[in-house]
Structure 1
Amino acid sequence: MIKDEGSDWYTKSWPELTAINLIFNNGGQPQTSDLSRTTGEYWWVGQGTGGKWYTSDPDTITEPEYTDTGKLVIHVKSPHSVPKIKYYDSVPSGISTPNAINMTAEKEGWYRFGFNKISSIKAKFTIDGSESAEYFFTNGEWYLENGVLTDFKPKVTSGKSDFREETIYFLMTTRFYDGDTSNNVHCWDDAKAGNLASDPAWRGDFKGLIQKLDYIKALGFSAIWITPIVENASGYDYHGYHALDFTQVDPRLESPNATYQTLINETHARGMKIIQDVVFNHSGNFGEKNIFPLFKKDYTKADTVSNLIKTDPHNLLGSDYDALDGGRQYSRRINAMKEDANDFRHIYHHEKSLGWEDYNVQTGQIAGDCVDLNTENPYVSDYLINAYNRYIDMGVDAFRVDTVKHISRLTFNNVFNPAFQNRGGDDFFMFGEVATRYRQVWNNGNPAISTPFYTWKESKSYPWATREEREASTYQHWQDNANPATQPSSNNHLLDGNNYRQVDYSKKSYMNVIDFPMHWNFKNANDAFNVAVGNDYTYADATWNVMYVDSHDYAPDGAPEGQRFAEPQSVWAENLSLMFTFRGIPTIYYGTEIEFQKGKPIDVGPNAPLSETGRAYFGNHIEGSLTVTDFGKYTNANGAVATTLNHPLAKHIRNLNLIRRNIPALQKGQYSTAGINGGLAFKRRFTDSTTDSFALVTISSSATFNNIPNGTYVDAVTGEAKVVTNGSLSVNVSGKGNLRVFVLTTSKTPAPGKIAESGLTYIK
């Protein structure tokens, strides 16, 4: 029971715990949001979803040192009326107002009120005629929306809801652009890798990315996918996949006035979206600071393994840990995290083996720096949900989910998918990496670890109350889904003749996927196209698939897979022409626009300098400036960035973005190859209450489209118009990567006319 201490204070302690999730309720509504704490003593002041934690008794807070630079700003969201503020009990000056006064309007329904010479104050607000609970504010900026008080501005979106309208530029933040040299840090293994003093692994940062958002927009991209941003710890953690603390942004990415929140706000200010790479499957091998504390970082000292602060409240590492060599220290950490006697709360899976095609691919440890979290443990999954909810609240528009096939689909459908759909809303986009690395859709004949499998809801329920039940159920779920012949199918991607089909999402999960079968076949466009056309029925709706040719991990099979795409430039151009006109969401990895590091190994760990790999620093190629006027439109480019934007592939990508952005059928349309004589040729259509967009596409060769609607078709490449009266249209095109996109003028959506620029290498 909670103990009554008097003066409206109540106390409860848990001496046996190091972390906890909790909710306060006064016996009625509203209760608090989901809260969490780690070892320590805390005071919570608040009512309902509004409130604040303190690390000392706020009733006895000593008067802070007064400074003229003190600043406290309160922002309140009130869409329907001007809010009023009533403030009192300030420190140090004791100011108050007897009556509520109006706040000052900002933008988008926000209002502000600022104090220049106080360090704390209490306030209530009148919003739409109702008085709020009391809030206590300290120095800084605060945002109050719908009763929720945060120290960051709540979610602001770019206004568009269907993520198929976007195209994605994927980058590794630390290797993209360095805007602040003061936060550059060498990884512990940089010396082993041979990275020069001038090229530390932690080099690019949020400040640099903010400075180059206009470059990405000039290429025509509307969404940016960045590698994980949470605090990391490992010998080579510049990529962000070795988490130490899922709740904190890694400070090596941030700068004064260039925080993660700043990046999100700046991205949205340009009408763009931010995709955060997230990891649920594993932490690094130094524990997780909040749910399995072993270490924390000391940022007052050099970032070295010896300067980690050992916390280890249960002495799992042993008193002689510091005297051990690195190999034995690693073994101690793994034993702490994976032995039943040590990890008695089962934060991690304790499986010692790993078979890539066996069930233990979802319970085993996939790499030395990736220790498998027990996502079937409610304590773990709840912690991860609460940690990542913060980033949704900050305004992140989408999650790219790492290592999806290493977690059961049942866990996603029962836990993660509904949680993030609830927090982010139906417009929040999630897509996962199901790294199958097979040319076939079914991963070695095993549906449960295959790409399309994760796009479906469950067809039956399983026991799910306790950790033990969840672990047993995921194993049973694996066994129940061993046969590809029993898997569901869909025609949501297919036109009904020439008409847009009414989609059925009753069985579609909230998880979309990277199209790994296409990726693995993208050594050439024909192979990628054929695997999609022949197997798209296995997805709940393949028009939501995210497509790329290569990434920070792999190139297509035989390209070869371990190198940045090494095929001739014309092959790149043809692949891109398909990717930007076919179903799905096109994505490129940073540098594709200039064939950056072509043929170099993508990732060899700390066994070669990053400058000799596909993860080299890109910043030298985008120095200079430009003025962006719209997506894919810019002027006044100078310096290296002008040269980069003039590369044949950069021009090709920019024009493909312009074409796709102006034709809804290419963004959200279903497709069909019926009645078409040609190679890479297809028709697409998207129809809703305000739009009817129909397009015919052929790539690299001529095609004839039969049994199509009569009417006037206009090519987006040349501007040529053709009037169809007999249901047939023949299109002549030659040159690898060249294309024609003939768009039908309909009563709702006229053809946009000529979009592509003249003088291009591949689009002619």
Structure 2
Amino acid sequence: MVTCLLAGLLSSAMAQAAGVPSQVTATASNSVTVFYYTKTSNWSRYLIHYAPTGGAWTTVPGVAMEAACTDWVKRTIDLGTATGLAATFNNGSGTWDNNGGNNYALGTGTITVKDGVIAHSDPCGDGGTTPSPTPGTQATVFYSTRTVGWSTVNLHWQPAGGAWTTPPGTGMEAACPGWFKRTVDLGTATGWTATFNNGSGTWDNNNGSNYALRAGVSTVKDRVVTANAADPCAGYQPDTTAPSTPTGVAASADGVAVVLMWEPSTDNVGVTGYQITRTGGSRGTVVANTGSTVYSDANLEPNTRYAYTVRALDAAGNVSAASATASATTGEAPPVADATAPIGTDPRKDPIYFVLTARFNDGDSSNNRGGSQHVRSGNAANDDPMFRGDFKGLIQKLDYIKGLGFSAVWITPVVLNRSDYDYHGYHGWDFYRVDPRLESAGASYQDLINAAHAKGMKIYQDVVYNHSSRWGAEGLFTPTVYGVRDNQWSWYYDAKQEGFEYDGLTVDPASGKSYYNGDLWSTTEPAGNTCLNWGRPTGAFSPEGYTIYNCQWPSPTSGMFPKQYYHNCWLGNWEGEDSRSCWLHDDLADLNTESAVVQNYLIGAYNKYIDMGVDGFRVDTAVHVSRVMWNRHFLPAIYERVTRTWGADKAANFFVFGEVGAFVNDKWNRGSVNHSAQFFTWKDRQEYSADDATAVLEGYNHENNLGTGNQPTSTNAFLNGNSYHAPDHSRFSGMNIIDMRMHMNFGSAQNAFWNGKDSDDSTNDATYNVVYVDSHDYGPNKSGERYTGGTDAWAENMSLMWTFRGIPTLYYGSEIEFQAGKRIDCGPTCPLATTGRAYYGDHVAGSVTASDFGVVSSASGQVADTLQQPLAQHLQRLNQIRRAVPALQMGQYSTEGISGEMAFKRRYTDAASGVDSFALVTVTGSATYTGIPNGTYVDAVTGDRRTVTNGTLSVAAPGKGNLRVYVLDLGGANAAPGRIGTPGPYLK
């Protein structure tokens, strides 16, 4: 699979390295040279059809490209005053590569397009900027890509005493699997300095020190330089073997989209991707690329038959034969809004409001559904169906959330669920379909994303990779269970209705149920059944006294679930290896995430939501998937898709944060590194076997043997004295985390503060931690109740979260202490109205308009009363202060030289934007700061001004829940903002 890591993972310290820009970009120019890879297309002609930004398209089919070097053609285009262009490629005879219908967004400078992947590189020469010393000493460098996963490598270099190449440097050639190579002429120099990048904004500059190389052959592997090295590709025979032909290709239409699936191909080295060829419709033949075995082809013509073939590719450019053709006919085009791009700003700027969509606000009662447990749960008696809130209701109250000051909304999973009690979204049945119980006419999921973006707000989608519903995953595997419509069970099993398809919303006319199950069971043993003892009585009985049969309920140990798709055991040890490889619960069928078929099903599903423009993913049960699989497959696939669809800048700030359920108070989860939250923020430190099932065991055992004392450490969250330093994200996995340690220790704010601090050196960058007090699962100390510490304690918690490192997050209703002390979840054994997942809509009834974040211009009805509650007003002002002080959003921190219970200093600097923000914070108690910069400090809460001349500032205790934020006034754009907002119930 082609991978593209998060832009900036390796580039954080690059500003310290001579010759390396603060961000990888093409050379400033009014022209672009586009190279297009030919080996996998093998056309007789190549044309580029393009439009400069703001300009007109060329006449179809475009202009011819010229031969550049083996396997590449090129075209240099004068852009005039444009800063880039949109482009497609074709063979002049009706076959097009238009990036899956998205066109290619290209900038300036030298750009490659290879199998759907864009990079800044010159694959045929020196980029026109190689230093020109006197011909003489030769140097060859090999760069290993096995742990970085790059498909393009540039060498940016400088001979001793000479000039640097122009970024991004000189393209390197693939030498053998896992290695790229480049030979340079040093002239009279005997040494040289080098950095490497992937042409898409990711740099390896040896942590800001650059690589010091000598003449002769050198290798650079995982930051280790070997001089006078042996050729790592010696004896390598070029790979000329094509992958196997894809089989099992199937196409299904959904409106004007077609979803294509197939079985993975095999290769002697490894399959890197697939090439899809589509015919049909008025657009001719279209070629597209994907790294998955699932491809979604959207925005097609209605009522049109399309045919598809698939070829497999490998890293050497070998292409399999075409698969058998699969066809599908599209239907009518639904009235769905076009996707809007992710906002793409630093996620640390955005406080998060977390909602259970189905329980937040009801905008359309026609999609309310109670499910099979409606009466038993007691919900019917309260006229409170489990599916009640929806996207329409959330859209209606975005101004409420914005008015509180939140600029990101985390919503529970949106995929179609299937279980007896599935309103929460974590029992996914069809991962490719949005649950209709959440959508309405004019209020689709796409409409929600677009509406949020129009208000400057982000949408973080909850996603699940670990498990599906107990009934399997539609399009992957769905088991058939034993059932019988006899005098005991006819009430439970619905008669099968040919042509009726479960969608959670539509009512089966025969049974009168929206939770129809007639497609899930059979009395006759189905062909190919693998479940043991089909239909035989077990000897057990249901609570009603009814006979229980073998294979009647989904189980991992009955043989019902093939190992290709699901793990086949029950979890026994939450801190053992089986927490990754076994079922947590019978409603959570544990997917075999080491299987390529499962990986591609999940990757293809979540690509759909990336393409819709979501701003990030909250990853449910992340700890129950091996870190090796996150690093090897799922995280690279996320960032590759965001980069491909929306560009590297958006990918750099696409926010992925995982739930690593370490529900303990200590730094490491009962001593197990594999089950600790911070562990998942790091890349793997060594290579494991190519076989994924073997690799996850190797990774588990390796890290388990190293233990807690041999884990990597980081200073990314900490100031160096009073100075901000460029963070080192070179070993960042791509997954941030929910701060489980602070969450568990919020018995008091002070306890959470000190425990959080203690874990920050083991987290790659704790300034990205998602911090909350309670959630839809637990309260502090793994309490089963919503937080019940009282209003003053809540105010103190909020004051800490909104000023300390990390991203403050609030579970819906906490702004009014909604359902305080209530049991968070009891399943269908009690009414939802009595739990922490109660319906919130009554509290936001009425109208509300936000003129800015934390600023409400008008409100009426119950929502106006809600916004007047003390914690709601506290939040508004906290959000106003945090948005005005960059140090509180993105700054590193320190407690050095500071006395006080919850006192710290924070700083954030960014030379590119001219930001320098330094703040002193104390929550509740007094504090004294020593060794701080002299100057004038202004408190953002009171406006109090202090002039420091001796490096010391003392602050009196502001009181419970109150705080002081003294901002250093540096003048100009970095002047202290003064008092922000008006005094409230706590901030005064």
- Partner of residue 297 from structure 1, selected from 496, 502, 513: 502
Q: Distance in 1 between matches of 2:565 and 2:657?
A: 25
User: How many pairs does the alignment contain?
Assistant: 655
User: Structure 1 residue 393 and structure 2 residue 615: aligned?
Assistant: no
User: What residue in structure 1 maps to residue 411 of structure 2?
Assistant: 226
Matched, 1:412 2:630: yes
Deviations 1:132-151 (A, max 9, x none): xxxx9975379xxxxxxxx7
The structure-2 alpha-carbon separation of the partners of 1:31 and 1:430, relative to structure 1 and needing over 3 Å to count, comes to closer
Structure 2 counterpart of 1:194: 378
Q: Deviations over 1:348-381 (max 9, x none)?
A: 0112342112111111111121111110111101
Q: Which amino acid aligns with 2:906?
A: R
Alpha-carbon deviations, 1:502-553, whole Å to 9, x = none? 2111111100000000000011111001112222101011111000000000
Question: Is the Cα contact below 8 Å between 1:673 and 1:683 reproduced in 2?
Answer: yes
Alignment counterpart, residue 435 of structure 2, candidates 236, 244, 250? 250
Q: Show the counterpart of 1:350.
A: 568
Assess, with a 3 A threshold, how the Cα gap between structure 1 residues 359 and 161 changes in structure 2: closer, same or farther: same
Deviates more, 1:428-437 or 1:418-427: 418-427
Distance 2:669 2:478 in 1: 36
Indicate the residue corresponding to 1:757 in structure 2: 982
Give 1:712 deviation, angstroms.
Answer: 1.2
Q: For residues 26-49 of structure 1, what are the alpha-carbon distances to aligned partners after superposition, in whole Å with 9 as ceiling and x for unaligned?
A: xxxx9976799xxxxx9x984113
Q: Identify which of 3, 14, 21 aligns with 2:262.
A: 21
**In the alignment, is residue 595 of structure 1 matched against residue 836 of structure 2?**
no
Shift of 1:305: 4.8
Mean alpha-carbon deviation: is it higher for 630-639 or for 347-356? 347-356
Partner of 2:364: 180
Find the partner of 1:553 among 771, 777, 780.
777
State the alpha-carbon separation in 2 of the partners of residues 705 and 330 from structure 1.
69
Identify the residue that residue 12 of structure 2 maps to in structure 1: none
DSSP-derived class of the 1:518 partner: helix
User: Which deviates the most, 205-214 or 315-324?
Assistant: 315-324
Q: CA deviation at 1:737?
A: 0.5
Is residue 293 of structure 2 the alignment partner of residue 49 of structure 1?
no
Deviation at 1:293, TM superposition (A): 2.3
| 2:780 match: secondary structure | coil
CA distance 1:477–1:250, shift in 2 (3 Å) = farther
Equivalent position to 2:722, from 498, 504, 519: 498
Q: Does 1:379 align with 2:379?
A: no
**Contact 2:276 2:288 (8 Å CA) reproduced:** no
Structure 2 partner of 1:429: 655
Whether the 8 Å contact between 2:929 and 2:953 is mirrored in structure 1 is: yes
Structure 2 distance, partners of 1:308, 1:691, is 62
What per-residue deviation string (whole Å, max 9, x for no partner) do you get for residues 158-210 of structure 1? Answer: 2x421001100000000000000000000212222111352000000001000
Task: Indicate conservation of the 8 Å contact 1:687/1:693, yes or no.
Answer: yes
| 1:132 alignment counterpart | none
**Residue aligned with 2:876, SS:** helix
CA contact (8 A) 1:297 1:308 kept: no
CA contact (8 A) 1:23 1:33 kept: no
1:721-760 equivalent positions in 2, closer than 5 A: 721-747=945-971, 748-758=973-983, 760=984
- The 3-state SS of whatever aligns with 2:375 is helix
Q: How does 1:129-168 map to 2 (within 5 A)?
A: 139-140=332-333, 153-158=338-343, 160-168=344-352
Cα distance in structure 2, aligned partners of 1:121 and 1:362: 43
CA distance change for structure 1 residues 204 and 141 in 2, over 3 Å: closer, same or farther?
closer
Among 635, 658, 662, which residue is 2:857 paired with?
635
> Which one has a larger percent helix, Structure 1 or Structure 2?
1
SS at match of 1:362: helix
Q: Distance in 1 between matches of 2:720 and 2:571?
A: 48
* 1:456 positional shift: 0.7
The CA distance in 2 between the partners of 1:731 and 1:511, in whole Å, is 38
How far apart, in 1, do the equivalents of 2:528 and 2:873 lie? 58
Query: Hey, what does 1:458 align to over in structure 2?
Result: 684
Q: Which residue of 1 aligns with 2:158?
A: none
Pairing partner for 1:527 from 729, 751, 768: 751
Alignment CA distance shift 1:12-1:32 (3 Å): closer
Query: 1:662–1:752: 8 Å Cα contact kept in structure 2?
Result: yes
- Contact (CA 8 Å) 1:152, 1:394: kept in 2 or not? no
Distance 1:685 1:239, change over 3 A: same
Structure 2: which 5+ residue stretches go unaligned? Answer: 1-94, 96-244, 253-259, 266-271, 291-297, 307-328, 481-500, 643-650
Equivalent residue number for residue 196 of structure 2: none
Aligned partners of 2:551 and 2:558 also within 8 Å: no
Residues 263, 597 of structure 2: 8 Å contact kept = no
The verdict on how the C-alpha distance between 1:230 and 1:330 changes in structure 2, with shifts beyond 3 A counting, is farther
Task: Identify if the C-alpha distance between structure 1 residues 625 and 653 changes in structure 2 by more than 3 Å, giving closer, same or farther.
Answer: same
Tell me which residue corresponds to 1:644: 866
Among 162, 166, 170, which residue is 2:354 paired with?
170
- Are the counterparts in 2 of residues 281 and 404 from structure 1 also a CA contact under 8 Å? yes
Q: Distance in 2 between matches of 1:252 and 1:523?
A: 37
Distance change >3 Å, CA 305–CA 570, structure 1 → 2 = same
What is residue 187 of structure 2 aligned with on the other side?
A: none
Distance 2:583 2:694 in 1: 22
Cα distance in structure 1, aligned partners of 2:937 and 2:863: 37
* Residue of structure 2 equivalent to 1:334: 554
Deviation at 1:727, TM superposition (A): 1.0
The normalised TM-score by structure 2 is 0.62
Which amino acid in 2 is paired with 1:445? G
User: Aligned-pair RMSD on alpha carbons?
Assistant: 3.4
Cα 1:595–1:330 change in 2 (3 A) is farther
Return closer, same or farther for 1:373/1:313 CA change in 2, 3 Å cut-off: farther
- What is the Cα deviation at residue 213 of structure 1? 0.5
Q: What is the rounded CA distance, in whole Å, between the counterparts of 1:329 and 1:572 in structure 2?
A: 51
Q: Given the alignment, which residue of 274, 281, 284 partners 2:466?
A: 281
Offset, 1:679: 1.4
Whole-angstrom distance in 2 between the partners of 1:176 and 1:322: 44
Are positions 1:212 and 2:412 aligned together? no
* In structure 2, distance between residues paired with 1:267 and 1:17: 33
Judged with a 3 Å threshold, the aligned counterparts in structure 2 of structure 1 residues 46 and 522 are, in CA distance, closer, same or farther, namely: farther
SS for the counterpart of 2:857 is strand
Match of 1:623 in 2: 845
1:315-330 pair list within 5 angstroms? 315=529, 328=548
Q: Does 1:660 align with 2:882?
A: yes
SS at the partner of 1:571?
helix
C-alpha distance after superposition, 1:652-680 (max 9, x if no partner): 11111111011000000000001112111
TM-score by length of 1: 0.80
Give the share of equivalent positions with the same residue, in percent. 46
* Deviation at residue 746 of structure 1 after TM alignment: 1.6
Whether 2:580 is the aligned partner of 1:362: answer yes
Matched AA of 1:577: S
Which structure has the greater CA radius of gyration? 2
- Counterpart position of 2:895: 673
Partner secondary structure for residue 581 of structure 1: coil
Specify the code of the residue in structure 1 equivalent to 2:367: N
1:628-662 per-residue CA deviation (whole Å, 9 max, x = no partner) reads 11111112211000000000000011111111011
- The offset of 1:257, in angstroms, is 1.1
Provide closer, same or farther for how the CA distance between residues 532 and 635 of structure 1 changes in structure 2, counting only shifts above 3 A: same
Read off the aligned partner of 1:739 and give its amino acid letter: L
